[in-house]
Amino acid sequence: MIASLAAKSLWARKVTVGLTIASITISIFVLLAIQHIRVEAKTNFTNTVSGVDLIVGARTGQINLLLYSVFRIGNATNNIRWDSYQALASSKAVAWTIPISLGDSHRGFRVLGTTGSYFEHFQYANKRSLTFAQGRPFTGTFEAVLGHEVAARLGYKIGDKITLTHGISANSFSEHKHNPFTIVGILDATGTPVDQTVHVRLDGIDATHKGWQSGVDLSKYTHVSKDQNLTPSSITAFMVGLNSKLSTFTYQRKVNEFKKEALLAILPGIALSDLWRMMGTVENILTFISWLVLGAALIGLTTMMLAAMRERRHEFMVLRAVGSSPLFIFTLIQIESLIVVSMSICLAALLLSSGLWLAQSSMVSQFGLTISPAVLTGDALVPILLILGVTVVVSFLPAISAYGESRR
C-alpha cells in the first residue's frame, strides 16, 4: 500500500521527478559503464593467453611487447633475426615455441604468420586449446585459417580465396594480389584477439613479399616455386613454453643477455599486472569523478524532495486525518526516494546494455575487446547496493522534514 501511494505521489509531480530521474540516470550510467568495462576488459586480457611461460621480442618496454604480440595492439619496434630465434628455441630448457610474424592485414583484420605449433600449443582462458569449427590447420604455403569473427563478419567459408594487404590499414593500396591464400580452416570463437586474426604460415608471409623492392610490388614478375627456400629472415616475436617452471628466470636472463641481438623476455602475468597498475590510476580517477557526479545528482534529489515539502503540507494533513502516523509519512518519503533511484538504475542499465550491444562490432574490430552487454552481473551488485544505501542516507533530511510537518 505504501509503495503504491508513493508511486502515485511521484506521478503527481511527474515533470520534476522525470528531470530528477534523468540526471540520476546519467550519473549511474557513467558509474556502471566504468565498472562494467573495467571488469570485462580485465577478463578479456586475462583470458587471452594461458600456459605461456615467456614472450620474447626485440628490446622494448614489456607492456609494449605484451600488447603487440598477444593483443595485436600497436607495432613492434624491431624484429628478431631468424638465426637468433633458432638459437634460443633450441635451448634444452625449451619445450616448445610459437614464432609469430605481424605486419600484414586483410580488410582491417591482422594477419599472423606462424607455424603448426600455434594450433598445438597456444592456449587461452585457463589452458583451453584452440579448436576448429570447420576445416583443419594449414599445411600448404598459401593456406589460411580464419578466426571466428573474421569468418563471420566477412562471410567466408572453406575454399574461399583471400589476399593479404601490406600494413595494417583497412584502406591500404599495397595488396599482395598475386599470391592469394585458400581458406582451409575456421576456428571456434574464443572471445580473444584470435577471433579477429587471419593465420597463415611463416613461409606464406615470406612468399607474399618476394618481389617487393623498396615498398614497390614487383611480385607479378616473380614466380614462387615449391622448391624455393622460403625460410623467413626474421619474425616479430615468439612465445615460449619451458620444460620446467624452475628454469623460467634462468631462461629469461639468458634471453635478456643474448649477445647477438638486443632482445627482451617477459613473463605475461607480470607484464599484465604492470599494465593494470598503470591503468589503475586512470580507473580510480574516473570512478571518483563518477561518484562525485552521482553525489551531485542525489543532492539534487534531496533538494527536489525538500522543495516539495511546503506544497505537500495538505497531503500530509489528509494522511494524518485518515490515521497515518508520522512514521508512516517518514517511510513514505524514503520509499519515494528509493523508487526514483531504482528507476534510474533500471534505465541506466538498459541504456548501457543497449549501447554496448550496438557498439559491440566496433569494439571488437577497433580494440579487439568483447564486452558483454549483460550489465547487471555480480560485479555491479556492490555499486548498486551502495547507491541505494547512499539514497537512504541523503533522503533522511526530507523524510525528517516531512515527519516534523506531519506532527504540527
Q: What tens digit of pLDDT does each residue of 8-61 get?
A: 888 888 888 888 889 889 888 888 888 888 788 777 777 777 889 999 999 988
**CA nearest 263: which of 273, 255, 272, 254?**
255
Q: List CB contacts of 216: < 8 A, sequence separation 6 or more.
A: none
- Percent of all residues in the chain with a pLDDT value above 90, rounded to a whole number: 30
Residue 262 has a pLDDT of 92
Please indicate, yes or no, whether residues 184 and 39 belong to a single structural domain of this protein: no
Give pLDDT tens digits for 95-105: 999 999 988 88
Please indicate, yes or no, whether residues 100 and 162 belong to a single structural domain of this protein: yes
Decide if pLDDT at 120 tops 80.
yes
Please indicate, yes or no, whether residues 321 and 172 belong to a single structural domain of this protein: no
CB-based burial, 137-149: b 16+ in 10 Å, e otherwise = bbeebbbbbbbbb
Residue 104 has a pLDDT of 86
**CA nearest 289: which of 75, 26, 82?**
26
All cell numbers assigned to 36: 562494467
**Residue 143 structural domain:** 54-266
Q: Which of 212, 239, 266 is the last residue of a domain?
A: 266
Selected residue with higher pLDDT from 56 and 293: 56
Please indicate, yes or no, whether residues 32 and 59 belong to a single structural domain of this protein: no
Residue 271 lies in a domain: no
Note whether 262 and 253 are within 8 A (CB).
no
Decide if pLDDT at 256 tops 70.
yes
- d(Cα 76, Cα 66) in Å, to the nearest integer? 10
- d(Cα 197, Cα 180) in Å, to the nearest integer? 17
Q: Which of 266, 288, 308 is the last residue of a domain?
A: 266
Please indicate, yes or no, whether residues 312 and 381 belong to a single structural domain of this protein: yes
The pTM score is: 0.69
Residue 375 has a pLDDT of 82
- d(Cα 406, Cα 398) in Å, to the nearest integer? 12
Residue 29 lies in a domain: yes
Q: Which of 235, 266, 297 is the last residue of a domain?
A: 266
Identify the weakest region by mean pLDDT among 114-118, 170-174, 241-245, 305-309: 170-174
Please indicate, yes or no, whether residues 292 and 249 belong to a single structural domain of this protein: no
Please indicate, yes or no, whether residues 109 and 241 belong to a single structural domain of this protein: yes
Give pLDDT tens digits for 358-395: 887 677 666 666 778 888 887 788 888 888 888 888 88
pLDDT confidence of 230, banded at 50, 70, 90?
confident
Please indicate, yes or no, whether residues 21 and 90 belong to a single structural domain of this protein: no
Decide if pLDDT at 215 tops 70.
no
Residue 365 has a pLDDT of 60
Mean pLDDT value of segment 163-184: 75
Decide if pLDDT at 141 tops 80.
yes
Sheet holding 94-100, edge to edge: 94-100, 237-242, 54-58, 263-266
